[in-house]
Amino acid sequence: MVLASMSDNLTTQESKWETAWGMKYYVGTDGRAVQGIQIIDGQAYDFGTNGTFNLKGTASGYLYSPSLSTANGGYNWFENGKPYTGFRYYMGTYYWFVNGVRQNAGWREAWGMKYYTDASGFCFFKSMFFFILLVTCTLLSV
């Protein structure tokens, strides 16, 4: 879908927000409305994948977004469209993120305690007391 501005004498729009037919769209560098998950100015948006191209809302989760960071294969964690900082449970374990980027091999502080994440960036917790399930995560009292 190509959006053209009537006020610009039908010139093609590029890299900007547009409103048409009562809905909001974002036009990419090629002059076409984008779809799917898009990172625009550091914010994650969902434009759907059903061919309608209009904004569905902000996106959350572990999203492919190399424009934010190429670390860890370009995947970064977003909550309500914004890069997230803190622990997040994903694929059966916890990972630590700073500004959306997964942090690997290092000490972390959260909930008044210190934690260690291994080279893969993960640790395992058991129940609300955060007991160690595997050696990959070491928990120390502050």
Q: Summarize pLDDT for 38-72 with one digit per residue, the tens.
A: 999 989 999 988 888 999 999 999 999 998 999 99
Q: Does domain 68-135 have CATH number 3.30.70.100?
A: no
Contacts 24+ apart (CB under 8 A), 46-51: none
C-alpha–C-alpha distance, residues 113 and 129, integer Å: 11
The architecture CATH gives domain 4-58: Ribbon (2.10)
Q: How far is CA 88 from CA 25, 91, 121, 133, in A?
A: 30, 10, 11, 17
pTM: 0.72
State how far the Cα of 65 lies from the Cα of 127, in Å rounded to an integer.
32
Locate CATH 2.10.270.10 in the chain.
4-58, 68-135
Tens of pLDDT, residue by residue over 68-109, are: 999 999 999 999 999 999 999 888 888 899 999 999 888 888
